């Protein structure tokens, strides 16, 4: 059909010169997973990597997974899980990962296929024997190759294991039938998003902070430094602060509050608590707590800008003379935060200032951001260091904490006096949060990138191992 | 060839706003009127040709055919009201059946206009439409029809064009979906939707309430249609949010004595017979004060019933007046009950109207009215109290006037003495409904919507954009027509999420957060709080400007780029304050009388009209505006150059 020939990929001008293959870009992180079309500036679909697992009374075998922030609401027998690993930001549960990705790439971004009547939900009342139909659906799904027209570019953490990389290409090629695939490292993408092929990438994410030297579009493997000092670690610091404050704060997340009445600062809350006739699972509670902590981080927490450490004499007294910030908890109680709001973030720079938390979140000196940068730079060639310091790309959602860049700049100037230090941090919040995705989007839409893709044919000839050979 | 643009007249533009349930369409955007056509969004698959037809079509044996006429024995009959075998191409805003949807577009088009070559199309797109969907539509429209130009318009943007605010949160409560879209300064900054398969589909929106109502009233033999009609009637209300009551709404009680019964959820299966006044009414004529008995099961046809009721009411009042001496307090109670608004009454009467189709055999003398049974109802109605209000007590009028016009599809066969005629009768029943008409406001569903609004706005990346979105919430979509729903949602949001403004503003000094350490010169003394970016014009408070610019000059202070969110520059200070400190509905325009009457629930249609004018009908613009206008829609010239992917850039998809 004439219509078919118009698909952009086949038109000759589009193959190398044009920017258009309608590739998909998938960037999975511990907190959020982002998916969208290459060439766009924001991912179309941003979902929390947390997903709900609902045990249905009617469905005795196993649990049903539900995806998306909107559906993470209190339910009976409801657990919130994450398919990524907190420690490494790599995929942990591949079953859930492929379901989640399928939901995002296919359900959200692709049109509904011409479906089988049993699947499109129109004939629901008519289906009496679900068993037979379910089989049909599965058969149908096996025949269907949902992404047969879209190449897929995925990002991965720089320390991703070879096995995991092979698994990724397997899923893409075998179950989605993508025509071409590429796997790229998040720091490289973040550098591309900032328009640089060589850079020192400081990625302060949700679960991890990583410092990576990128040279000519390739990561320098030995330079990769990783530490848990990220958004969730900061949340743990806040929690520790709340626990140790007088009186102890144990705020309930928004979902538990039915309604609140305004009270004076420091006064006890007057709120009606929502009652549920089922148990709220700890995992759901933790997820909801994180929402509250995010809000607290957004509007209260600040990084001491320096120069010098916050614990240097005089600084805290100075802050105490300044106006603080009031934060109102979901239950209406509110309180002013003044010097504390600097203290919670100080551990990122100074391990001695970190508030006591449980052992998993305790950090060492080597895990603070200045030390990470130091050891990263120490592991690269001396000649490269000036170039890297002049091209520092700051990305990741946790770097949005107020004052972060000023402090980073001050720390670097103190560590490398006389060197030219230039930070590059995107101004738009979205660009900072989705830096790696945007870089992937740029990369996949470049005309010159098309010769890089691992094609379906190459995969069939070489097997999953090709990804190790090609995607360095 | 941009001269192609702007060649159209306002009367030529075809505007289509597809919904999951009903599609609004109109030819011409010269008058900003409510939609001229409302078309059910459904198609019917023809099994033989595999094509889609707009109406249910069935084969029927021809009258008088005796079986030897070969294929001519059967005829095809279109049944315009039947939904048998209907395919709904859009579900929860999502196109689930592209072929059917394209056929539907074709159907809408042919219904409204005959030519393609000079009819540009403005098509509203739901946020759930995927990019390939839009491309398929563009390809179909340009390759299968001669349409000169197509503009795809994001539904939230459409609502914005209709309501004119630059910053707002559009809450679109539809049939089976709810979309919350935050628009800041004409740019979509956040979006959340309910009712999308995740992967199981939990619907949200108007349908949820109908289902809940139906489940509450199932014991009373309510059908889906009845529940739907009841929901749309003024009887059904979402009561105001009452934070301190156990059910979170203030349910009416029957006098003082019944409070205990009301406190718990009323029994659904309580009999449909009136909950009359019990004790005091012993000596009073039941007709007089027993309000519930007014469920006049046998009253027929719309107009009469109301009159009848009014008359009944008058009679009753007179009778009560006569008995004043005997039962004064009872009369007072009855009169009060009559005057009480619906929300304070425990029970109320619901007049259910349904259309009944039946094939009747009528003598050949067609055209003559058949007055036989009609008389029975129009005159003195029999005392209705004796008839219980159950499902089968219907008296019907073969209202000839109504029937022949649109609904009936008479067809005639010649030879026989009697003909079969399809008739539509309007049957009216009165049913008493208790507290179900308030309890259907499913708390879980309202909570879902409020949570989604809260999360959508709080998820906006730039914090300073949130307060504007909180201050301009609008509800569109016909699901929000439900009485009291909007108010309840707003009350819930206020009760649950409002950050009390007193404490937040007293202590929070919203001076630029990238300000340097105070220098002790006093230049940085907090000057109060403000939210949002500072104005950059010269009108800015000079003190403030001095204070903020001074911070740049502090020695030893280096400002790294991007230190605050946004391109840091002191004059672009952005607030970090906690939101929301106020939650308000945006005020609606009042200058369009027709729309005020129609309600702005369909503001997206109004916006589509406005956008259609802007995209197609404005001429003689300067160069840059012409270019911008060109990007609003995809015309044939651009399509030929770019292909279907042109809709990505040449559209208003947000």
DSSP secondary structure string for all residues of A59-87: --SS-EEE-SGGG----TTEEEEESB-TT
**Which residues of chain A neighbour B495 with C-beta distances below 8 Å?**
258-260
Contact B563 A433 (CB under 8 A): no
Rounded to an integer, what distance in angstroms lies between the CA atom of residue A102 and that of residue A115? Answer: 17
Categorize the per-residue pLDDT at A293 as very low, low, confident or very high, splitting at 50, 70 and 90. Answer: very high
Map tokens 């971004």 to a residue.
Answer: A109
**Which residues of chain B neighbour A12 with C-beta distances below 8 Å?**
none
The beta-carbon neighbor of A111 closest among B133, B196, B503 is: B133
**Which residues of chain B neighbour A73 with C-beta distances below 8 Å?**
447-448, 451
* pTM (predicted TM-score): 0.79
SS3 state at A213: strand
pLDDT averaged over consecutive 10-residue blocks of chain B (654 residues)?
A: 61 92 91 90 83 80 57 70 84 90 92 82 92 92 90 94 92 92 93 85 88 88 87 87 82 53 38 37 38 40 51 61 52 60 80 73 50 39 39 38 38 48 76 84 89 93 91 93 92 89 49 43 41 36 39 36 38 65 90 89 93 87 86 90 89 84
**Which residues of chain A neighbour B461 with C-beta distances below 8 Å?**
428-430, 433
Contact B98 A69 (CB under 8 A): no
Does A137 map to a domain?
Answer: no
Look at residues A222, A220, A209 and name the one whose alpha carbon lies nearest to residue A87.
Answer: A209
Does A289 map to a domain?
Answer: yes
Does A352 map to a domain?
Answer: yes
Looking at residue B524, its pLDDT comes to 40
**Which residues of chain B neighbour A114 with C-beta distances below 8 Å?**
97-99
Looking at residue B442, its pLDDT comes to 84
Contact B94 A402 (CB under 8 A): no
Question: Could you give phi then psi for residue B189, rounded to 5 degrees?
Answer: -110, -15
pLDDT higher at B512 or A31 = A31
Q: For the ranges A1-5, A467-471, B132-136, B305-309, which has the lowest average pLDDT?
A: A1-5
Looking at residue B608, its pLDDT comes to 94
Mutate to test the interface with B, among A11, A115, A299 (most CBs of B within 10 A): A299
For A241, other C-beta atoms within 10 Å of its C-beta total: 19
Looking at residue B308, its pLDDT comes to 52
- How many domains does one find in chain A? 1
Q: Report the gap between the CA of B438 and the closest CA in chain A (Å).
A: 20
Looking at residue B515, its pLDDT comes to 42
Looking at residue B335, its pLDDT comes to 59
Categorize the per-residue pLDDT at A10 as very low, low, confident or very high, splitting at 50, 70 and 90. Answer: very low
DSSP secondary structure string for all residues of A364-425: -GGGSHHHHHHHHHHTS-GGGHHHHHT-EEEESGGGGSBTHHHHHHHHHHHHSTTS---EEE
A112 in contact with chain B, both atoms CB, cutoff 8 A: yes
The residues in A 24-43 lying below 8 A from B, measured between CB atoms, are 37
Percent of chain A with pLDDT over 90: 49
Q: Report the gap between the CA of A416 and the closest CA in chain B (Å).
A: 15
Supply the Cα-derived Rg of chain A in whole angstroms: 24
DSSP secondary structure string for all residues of B414-434: SSSSEEEEEEEEEEEEEEEE-
Q: Work out whether the CA dihedral B212, B216, B218, B224 comes out positive or negative.
A: negative
Does A236 map to a domain?
Answer: yes
Contact A112 B87 (CB under 8 A): no
- Residue in B with minimal Cα distance to A427: B566
Q: For the ranges A188-197, A408-417, B123-132, B506-515, which has the lowest average pLDDT?
A: B506-515
- Residue in A with minimal Cα distance to B452: A70
Paired with A25 in beta bridges are A36, A153
Q: Report the gap between the CA of A458 and the closest CA in chain B (Å).
A: 27
The beta-carbon neighbor of A328 closest among B95, B503, B576 is: B503
Supply the Cα-derived Rg of chain B in whole angstroms: 31
- B537 contacts: CB under 8 Å, gap ≥ 6: none
Contact A323 B508 (CB under 8 A): yes
The beta-carbon neighbor of B502 closest among A71, A262, A408 is: A262
Average pLDDT over residues A204-215: 93
A394 in contact with chain B, both atoms CB, cutoff 8 A: yes
Q: For the ranges A327-336, A450-459, B495-504, which has the lowest average pLDDT?
A: B495-504
**Which residues of chain A neighbour B526 with C-beta distances below 8 Å?**
323
The residues in A 69-98 lying below 8 A from B, measured between CB atoms, are 69-71, 73
- Residue in B with minimal Cα distance to A112: B96
Q: Report the gap between the CA of B535 and the closest CA in chain A (Å).
A: 19
- A134 contacts: CB under 8 Å, gap ≥ 6: none
Map tokens 């398929």 to a residue.
Answer: B136
Return left, alpha or beta for A62; rule: phi > 0 is left, psi -120 to 50 is alpha, else beta: left
CATH of the domain at A242: 3.90.640.10
Does A225 map to a domain?
Answer: no
Contact B568 A427 (CB under 8 A): yes
**Which residues of chain A neighbour B558 with C-beta distances below 8 Å?**
406, 409-410, 413
Looking at residue B561, its pLDDT comes to 44
Q: Are B32 and B163 in contact (CB under 8 A)?
A: no
Q: For the ranges A32-41, A428-437, B101-110, B620-629, which has the lowest average pLDDT?
A: B620-629
C-alpha pair distances (Å), A48 with each of A63, A104, B143: 19, 11, 40
Looking at residue A396, its pLDDT comes to 93
Rounded to an integer, what distance in angstroms lies between the CA atom of residue A190 and that of residue A439? Answer: 5
The beta-carbon neighbor of B578 closest among A37, A120, A327 is: A327
- Residue in B with minimal Cα distance to A257: B496
Rounded to an integer, what distance in angstroms lies between the CA atom of residue A267 and that of residue A251? Answer: 14
The beta-carbon neighbor of A408 closest among B193, B499, B560 is: B560
Does A297 map to a domain?
Answer: yes
DSSP secondary structure string for all residues of A87-138: TTSSB--HHHHHHHHHIIIIIITSPPPS--TTTSSTTGGG---HHHHHHHHH
Contact A299 B576 (CB under 8 A): yes
**Average pLDDT of the residues of chain A:** 84
Q: Report the gap between the CA of A277 and the closest CA in chain B (Å).
A: 13
For A298, other C-beta atoms within 10 Å of its C-beta total: 21
Q: How many CA atoms lie within 13 A of A377 on its CB side?
A: 23
Domain of A350 in residue numbering reads as 230-268+280-362
What contacts 24+ positions apart, CB below 8 Å, involve A285-289? A285/A253, A286/A80, A287/A50, A287/A72, A287/A80, A288/A253, A288/A254, A288/A255, A288/A256, A289/A239, A289/A253
**Which residues of chain A neighbour B448 with C-beta distances below 8 Å?**
73
Helix, strand, coil proportions of chain B in percent (round to 5)?
40, 15, 45
Does A252 map to a domain?
Answer: yes
Looking at residue B321, its pLDDT comes to 55
Paired with B91 in beta bridges are B94
Rounded to an integer, what distance in angstroms lies between the CA atom of residue B214 and that of residue B212? Answer: 5
**Which residues of chain A neighbour B87 with C-beta distances below 8 Å?**
122
Q: Report the gap between the CA of B528 and the closest CA in chain A (Å).
A: 11
Count CB pairs under 8 A between chains A and B. 193
The residues in A 152-211 lying below 8 A from B, measured between CB atoms, are none
Domains of chain B (ranges; CATH) run 1-41+89-155+602-653 (3.30.420.40), 49-61+75-87 (no CATH)
**Which residues of chain B neighbour A254 with C-beta distances below 8 Å?**
454, 496-497
Map tokens 């030897």 to a residue.
Answer: B68
Looking at residue B202, its pLDDT comes to 83
The beta-carbon neighbor of B561 closest among A71, A265, A425 is: A425
Looking at residue A428, its pLDDT comes to 86
Would you state the structure tokens that stand for residue A260, as one six-digit string?
């609140």
Does A27 map to a domain?
Answer: no
Say if residue A182's pLDDT is above 90: yes
Question: How far is C-alpha B465 from the chain's CA centre?
Answer: 27
Q: Counting Cβ atoms within 10 Å, is residue B250 exposed (0-12), middle (13-18) or buried (19+)?
A: middle
């Amino acid at each position: 059909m004439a219509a078919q020939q118009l698909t952009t990929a086949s038109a000759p001008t589009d193959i190398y010169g044009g920017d258009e293959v309608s590739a998909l870009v998938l960037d999975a992180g511990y907190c959020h997973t982002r998916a969208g079309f290459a060439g766009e500036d924001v991912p179309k679909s941003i979902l929390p990597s947390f997903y709900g697992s609902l045990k249905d009374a009617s469905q005795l075998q196993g649990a049903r997974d539900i995806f998306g922030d909107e559906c993470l609401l209190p339910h009976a027998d409801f657990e919130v899980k994450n398919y990524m690993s907190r420690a490494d930001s790599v995929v942990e549960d591949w079953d859930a990962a492929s379901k989640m990705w399928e939901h995002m790439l296919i359900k959200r971004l692709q049109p509904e296929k011409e479906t089988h009547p049993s699947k499109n939900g129109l004939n629901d009342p008519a289906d009496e024997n679900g068993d037979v139909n379910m089989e049909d659906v599965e058969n149908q799904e096996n025949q269907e190759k949902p992404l047969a027209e879209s190449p897929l570019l995925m990002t991965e953490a720089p320390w991703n294991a070879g096995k995991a990389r092979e698994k990724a290409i397997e899923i893409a090629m075998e179950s989605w039938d993508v025509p071409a695939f590429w796997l790229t490292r998040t720091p490289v993408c973040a550098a591309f998003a900032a328009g640089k092929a060589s850079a020192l990438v400081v990625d302060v994410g949700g679960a991890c902070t990583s410092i990576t030297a990128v040279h000519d579009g390739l990561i320098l493997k030995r330079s990769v430094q990783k530490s848990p000092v990220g958004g969730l670690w900061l949340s743990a610091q806040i929690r520790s602060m709340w626990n140790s404050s007088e009186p102890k704060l144990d705020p309930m997340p928004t979902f538990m509050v039915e309604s609140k009445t305004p009270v004076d600062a420091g006064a006890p809350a007057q709120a009606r608590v929502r009652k549920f006739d089922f148990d709220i699972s700890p995992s759901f509670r933790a997820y909801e707590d994180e929402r509250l902590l995010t809000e607290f981080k957004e509007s209260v927490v600040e990084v001491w800008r320096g120069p010098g450490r916050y614990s240097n004499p005089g600084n805290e007294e100075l802050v105490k003379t300044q106006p603080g910030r009031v934060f109102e908890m979901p239950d209406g109680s509110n309180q002013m935060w003044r010097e504390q709001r600097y203290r919670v973030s100080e551990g990122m720079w100074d391990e001695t200032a970190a508030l006591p938390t449980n052992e998993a979140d305790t950090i060492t000196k080597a895990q603070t951001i200045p030390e990470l940068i130091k050891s990263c730079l120490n592991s690269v060639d001396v000649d490269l260091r000036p170039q890297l310091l002049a091209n520092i790309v700051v990305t990741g959602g946790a770097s949005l904490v107020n004052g972060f860049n000023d402090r980073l700049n001050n720390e670097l100037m103190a560590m490398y006096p006389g060197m030219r230090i230039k930070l590059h941090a995107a101004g738009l919040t979205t660009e900072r949060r989705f830096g790696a995705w945007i870089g992937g989007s740029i990369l996949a839409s470049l005309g010159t990138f098309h010769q890089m893709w691992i094609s379906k044919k190459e995969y069939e000839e070489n097997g999953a191992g090709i990804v190790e050979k090609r995607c360095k | 060839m941009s001269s192609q643009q702007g060649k159209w007249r306002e009367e030529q533009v075809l505007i289509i706003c597809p919904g999951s349930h009903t599609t609004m369409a109109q030819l011409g955007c010269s008058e900003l009127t409510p939609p001229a056509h409302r078309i059910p969004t459904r198609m019917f698959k023809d099994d033989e040709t595999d094509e889609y037809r707009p109406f249910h079509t069935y084969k029927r044996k021809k009258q008088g055919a005796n079986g030897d006429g070969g294929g001519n024995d059967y005829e095809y009959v279109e049944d315009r009201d039947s939904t048998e075998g209907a395919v709904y191409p859009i579900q929860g805003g999502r196109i689930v059946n592209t072929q059917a949807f394209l056929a539907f577009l074709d159907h809408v088009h042919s219904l409204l206009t005959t030519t393609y070559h000079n009819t540009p199309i403005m098509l509203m797109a739901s946020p759930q439409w995927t990019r390939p969907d839009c491309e398929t539509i563009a390809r179909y429209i340009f390759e299968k029809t001669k349409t000169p130009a197509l503009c795809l318009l994001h539904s939230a943007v459409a609502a914005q064009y209709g309501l004119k605010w630059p910053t707002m949160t559009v809450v679109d409560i539809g049939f089976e979906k709810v979309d919350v879209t935050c628009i800041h300064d004409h740019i979509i900054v956040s979006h959340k939707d309910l009712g999308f398969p995740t992967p199981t589909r939990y619907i949200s929106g108007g349908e949820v309430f109908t289902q809940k109502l139906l489940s509450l009233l199932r014991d009373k033999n309510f059908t889906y249609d009845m529940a739907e009609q009841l929901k749309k009637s003024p009887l059904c209300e979402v009561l105001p949010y009452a934070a301190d009551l156990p059910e979170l709404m203030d349910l009416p009680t029957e006098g003082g004595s019944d409070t205990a019964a009301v406190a718990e959820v009323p029994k659904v299966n309580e009999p449909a017979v009136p909950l009359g006044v019990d004790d005091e009414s012993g000596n009073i004529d039941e007709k007089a004060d027993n309000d519930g008995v007014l469920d006049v099961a046998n009253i027929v046809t719309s107009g009469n019933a109301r009159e009848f009721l009014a008359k009944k009411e008058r009679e009753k009042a007179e009778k009560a007046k006569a008995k004043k001496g005997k039962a004064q307090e009872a009369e007072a109670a009855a009169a009060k009950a009559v005057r009480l608004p619906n929300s304070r009454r425990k029970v109320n009467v619901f007049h259910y109207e349904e259309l009944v189709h039946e094939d009747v055999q009528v003598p050949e003398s067609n055209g003559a009215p058949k007055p036989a049974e009609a008389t029975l109802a129009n005159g003195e109605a029999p005392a209705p109290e004796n008839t219980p209000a159950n499902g089968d007590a219907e008296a019907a009028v073969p209202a000839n006037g109504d029937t022949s016009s649109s609904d009936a599809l008479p067809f005639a066969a010649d030879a026989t003495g009697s003909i079969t005629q399809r008739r539509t009768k309007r049957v009216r029943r009165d049913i008493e409904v208790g507290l179900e008409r308030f309890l259907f406001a499913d708390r879980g569903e309202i909570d879902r919507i409020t949570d989604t609004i809260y999360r959508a706005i709080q998820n906006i990346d730039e914090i300073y954009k949130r307060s504007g979105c909180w201050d301009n919430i609008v509800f569109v979509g016909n699901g929000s027509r439900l009485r009291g729903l909007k108010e309840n949602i707003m009350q819930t949001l206020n009760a649950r999420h409002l950050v009390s403004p007193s404490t937040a503003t007293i202590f929070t000094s919203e001076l630029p957060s990238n300000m340097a350490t105070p220098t002790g010169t006093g230049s940085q003394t907090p000057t109060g709080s403000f939210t949002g970016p500072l104005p950059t014009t010269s009108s800015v408070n000079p003190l403030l400007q001095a204070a903020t610019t001074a911070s740049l000059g502090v020695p030893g202070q280096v400002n790294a780029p991007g230190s605050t969110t946004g391109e840091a520059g002191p004059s672009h200070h952005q607030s970090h304050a906690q939101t929301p400190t106020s939650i308000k509905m945006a005020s609606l325009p009042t200058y369009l009388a027709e729309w005020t009457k129609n309600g702005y629930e369909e503001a997206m249609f109004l916006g589509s009209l406005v956008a259609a004018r802007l995209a197609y009908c404005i001429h003689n613009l300067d160069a840059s505006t012409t270019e911008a206008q060109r990007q609003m829609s995809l015309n044939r010239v651009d399509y030929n150059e770019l292909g279907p992917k042109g809709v990505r850039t040449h559209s208003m998809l947000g």
